[in-house]
Amino acid sequence: MVESRWWTRAGPGFLAVAVLGLLHVGPAGADDRAWSPAECPESTAVRTSPEPAPGDDPPAAPWYRLDTMLDDDLSVRGQRLTVGIAGAPDARALEMDAESFAAGPYGGLILTGSDDGLVSRLRLIDVAAGCALTVATERDVIRRATIDPGGAAVYEFRVDRRTRADLGVWRRPLDGSAAGLVVPALGTDLRFGRTFATELSWSIDGSRLVVQSCAEVACRTRLVDPAGGAATLVDDPDLGEVIGVADDRLVAYVACRGLPCPVVAVDLASRDRTTLADDAGLAVVVTGPTGPQVVHEVGAGRSPVVRAVDLDGRERRRFLPGEDARRLVPGAARARAGLGMTAGWIAFAPNGRELSARDSVVLRRVEDDRTVALEEVAR
């Protein structure tokens, strides 16, 4: 356990929102209680618990879902963040500014960012305690952020408030010391065109920060060693959204418009490619008993078969479609939702993201297809 003190897109992003049904008009669902979290005590500490061992049953972990709220004229009026604990009957919802995001869970915490047009604020929500604490107030626009696997710092992607120019990725220690630039702004590349969205994530082993910057279809990805700052750039214009990074391989969709798409594994040293799927829908990289695997839907129908494949292309198993048209829950950037899970498990939910739907979310272990309903994990 690591402990540190708390202190005081149009483009492809919109397409992902539309495809997964993220747009929300009207009041929250009956299961959501309107909520404004109280401030956590200053003595509260950030705790990030170690991941349970692969194969362990899923813990009663936090989850979140972010929905866009629209006015009658379809203009964006805000974001609704819904949070809860797996197995608990209630969910809580709070409204945030139109330019907002959420990330995690990190142990028992959800990281949120919201910009009111004057300043950006980062907050950490302790879902179990029902409180939140402000981590940062910044005049630049913080578009995305993540917490490092050790729980020591927040990494922020910033843009200039007036020009929206890329200002790079900044590291903000959670001990209250000043933030510093760790990844410089990404230069212009005419092969890609304008960058619409930048996402932050971590390699499966937590050793590298993954900074993905996407144009209309194709993406450039930088893999950064936080210890030394060295970065590896993957800038092939026929590569699209990153699914995950494991065993020195970048797993990504081939650049295409809409799913299904081919999925490839790119060796970061040689740049050799292995085709893992020809027609993948939603996909995620997980840790299996034999090493990292890509779990993906075959095609993108209402209830597609799900397939697990090693990074060398060898198929491990197939899962029958889930009941009630459940879909595989992909990475948090695509789903705009996240759930704390034990390594080696995957989640299925309506639309691949409706984590708050009672009696509708199931967790499955890749190794043997053991299935647990979300509401049972706390029992």
Neighbours of 3 (CB within 10 A): 11
At 86 the pLDDT is 82
Residue 290 confidence (pLDDT) above 90: no
**pLDDT over 90 (residue 218):** yes
Query: What's the confidence (pLDDT) of residue 358?
Result: 63
What percent of the chain is predicted at pLDDT more than 90? Answer: 60
Amino acid of residue 205: D
Helix-, strand-, coil-residue percentages of the chain, each rounded to 5? 5, 50, 45
User: What band does 324 get if pLDDT is binned at 50, 70 and 90?
Assistant: low
Tell how strand 120-126 and strand 62-70 pair up.
Answer: unpaired
Residue with tokens 């081939």: 254
Q: Label residue 13 by pLDDT band (50, 70, 90).
A: very low
Residue 143 pLDDT exceeds 80? yes
3-class secondary-structure state, position 194: coil
Per mean pLDDT, which range of 304-308, 346-350, 355-359 is the poorest?
Answer: 355-359
Report the predicted TM-score, pTM, of the whole model to 2 decimal places.
0.87
Which tens digit of pLDDT belongs to each residue from 60-104?
789 999 999 998 888 889 999 999 988 777 889 999 999 999 999
pLDDT at 124 over 70: yes
Q: Average of pLDDT values for 328-355?
A: 91
The pLDDT value given to residue 235: 96
154 and 147 Cβ atoms separated by less than 8 Å: yes
CA dist., res. 207 & res. 244, Å (int): 13
Residue 253 pLDDT class (50, 70, 90 cuts): very high
Q: What is the mean pLDDT of residues 294-314?
A: 90
- Of residues 114 and 45, more confidence is placed in 114
- pLDDT for residue 208: 96
Distance CA 130, CA 40 (A): 8
pLDDT for residue 169: 96
Distance CA 315, CA 309 (A): 4
CA distance linking residue 157 with residue 36, whole number of Å: 26
User: In the prediction, which pLDDT does 252 show?
Assistant: 98
66 phi and psi angles, rounded to 5 deg = -115, 125
Q: Tell me the pLDDT tens digit for each residue of 154-192.
A: 999 999 999 999 999 999 999 889 999 999 999 999 999
Look at residue 66 in the predicted model and tell me its pLDDT.
95
Query: What does the mean pLDDT of the chain come to?
Result: 85
Give percent above pLDDT 70 in the chain: 84
Q: Which has the minimum average pLDDT: 102-116, 177-191, 205-219, 318-332?
A: 318-332
Confidence band, pLDDT 50/70/90 cuts, at residue 44: low
149: left (phi over 0), alpha (psi -120 to 50) or beta: alpha
